[in-house]
Amino acid sequence: MQLNIKNKNIQLEEAIKQSIRQLIHSMVQNDLNTIDKLLDKDFTLTHITGYVQSKSEWLDNMRSEKMKYYSSKETELYLKINYNKAIVLIRNYIDANIGGSRKNWRLQQKFELDNHDTSWIITKSVASLF
């Protein structure tokens, strides 16, 4: 019986990690349709400046290339699950052009996710540097 619970937890963890990694991959690919599906309708992104951006504004910025992501290399990922909620802390080296300035960023993002039936939806992201 213990083995089944452990396997279920591993499957949950992998599904959550997959959602976050798919988001980051979609950012680099500028796949706005996939990003839209991964994010909750009320999603917010808090930038390193403290500016809180809505989902629609963030997607618009990527659409207009005010924000363009070129590559990402994951260095660490931590995960905590509490019933139907999860928190992921991920560190990436991201090559991005933000507001006309292209730079390699040491970006740490804290993601909050909610479980919706069979999928994990990203509700919030808070970015900082590491």
| pLDDT tens-digit readout, 40-59 | 999 999 999 999 999 999 99
Nearest by Cα to 84 from 46, 118, 55: 118
Question: What confidence tens digit (pLDDT) does each residue in 46-98 have?
Answer: 999 999 999 999 999 999 999 999 999 999 999 999 989 999 999 999 999 99
CA 61 to chain centre: 16
Structure tokens at 53: 């951006």
pLDDT at 5: 56
Please report, for residues 7, 15, 18, the alpha-carbon distance to residue 11 in angstroms, rounded to integers and kept in the order given.
Answer: 6, 6, 10
Residues in contact with 110: Cβ distance below 8 Å, sequence separation at least 6, in sequence order: 87, 88, 89, 125, 126, 128
Give the start-to-end residue ranges of the domains of the chain: 2-129
Q: Is residue 121 scored above 80 in pLDDT? A: yes
* CA count, 13 A, side-chain hemisphere, 32: 13
0.85 cut: is pTM over it? yes
Residue 116 φ then ψ, to 5°: -120, 100
Span 105-120, mean pLDDT? Answer: 93
> What would the CATH number be for the domain defined by 2-129?
3.10.450.50
Any idea which of 4-8, 34-38, 75-79 has the lowest mean pLDDT? 4-8
